[in-house]
Amino acid sequence: DIDDVGHKYHLELVLEDILDKDSTVNCTAEVLYHLGNKNIAPDVQFTIEGELKNTDEADNTFYNRIKSLEKELVAENIPDSHGNVSPEMEPIRLLAWVASGYVIWQNSTENTKFQLAQIKHVKQVKRSDEYLEFDYMILLHEMVSQEIFPWQMTVLWHPQHGVQVTQDSRQPKHALE
């Protein structure tokens, strides 16, 4: 408890590579939830002990595949109702996971617990520069209220420049119908 400021949490955690369960890295972090204005995202400071795996090869493979598509990529329901994701869509899903992490961070309070539930829709947006751009409609599940929040997010990505969410907005519940 920090008077007049908020609540600070000190965390020790282990990061696990989704694609390689044996690859883990220790991490320490400090999260400060602000008192008062709940519309400000919590402050996060972190240190990673060691290095994250190099993913250049996979990044470039994906990048080149999308760059060489004749028509812009369009897909929906990732995963499908049964939980299946086609191999070509795996990177699209991973990108959404990362980007949704940013959206979740920006919208979290001490009383929320968000998870990405599903990608309803994704559309690639043509760009003249070297970046890839995807317009996602995702569903976020919030554990305490059990609500499903449709959320739109515009995601930019480049193998060397990483992920950026340039725009995001919560959608009305019936945006899906």
Residue with Cβ nearer other proteins (77 or 124): 77
* 9: β partners: 31
Residue showing tokens 């869509």: 89
**Out of 40, 147, 163, 166, which residue is the one contacting other proteins (CB under 8 A)?**
147
Q: Is 22 in the site for other proteins (CB under 8 A)?
A: no
CB 131 within 8 A of CB 149: no
Q: Is 121 exposed, middle or buried (0-12, 13-18, 19+ CB in 10 A)?
A: middle
**Out of 6, 107, 118, 134, which residue is the one contacting other proteins (CB under 8 A)?**
118
Q: How far is the CB of 47 from other proteins (least distance, A)?
A: 24
Q: Is 115 in the site for other proteins (CB under 8 A)?
A: yes
Q: Is 123 in the site for other proteins (CB under 8 A)?
A: no
Q: Is 14 in the site for other proteins (CB under 8 A)?
A: no
Q: How far is the CB of 105 from other proteins (least distance, A)?
A: 15
Q: How far is the CB of 143 from other proteins (least distance, A)?
A: 7
- For residue 19, report the phi and psi dihedrals to the nearest 5 degrees: -90, -5
Q: Is 20 in the site for other proteins (CB under 8 A)?
A: no
Q: Is 18 in the site for other proteins (CB under 8 A)?
A: yes
Q: Is 141 in the site for other proteins (CB under 8 A)?
A: yes
DSSP 172: -
* CA-closest candidate to residue 168, choices 119, 120, 99, 111: 99
Q: How far is the CB of 117 from other proteins (least distance, A)?
A: 5
Six-digit token string for 27: 């991490």
Give the C-alpha distances (Å, rounded to integers) separating 95 from 105, 138, 161.
16, 12, 13
- SS3 of residue 131 by DSSP: coil
Interface with other proteins by CB under 8 A: which residues?
18, 77, 79-85, 115-118, 139, 141, 143-148, 173, 176
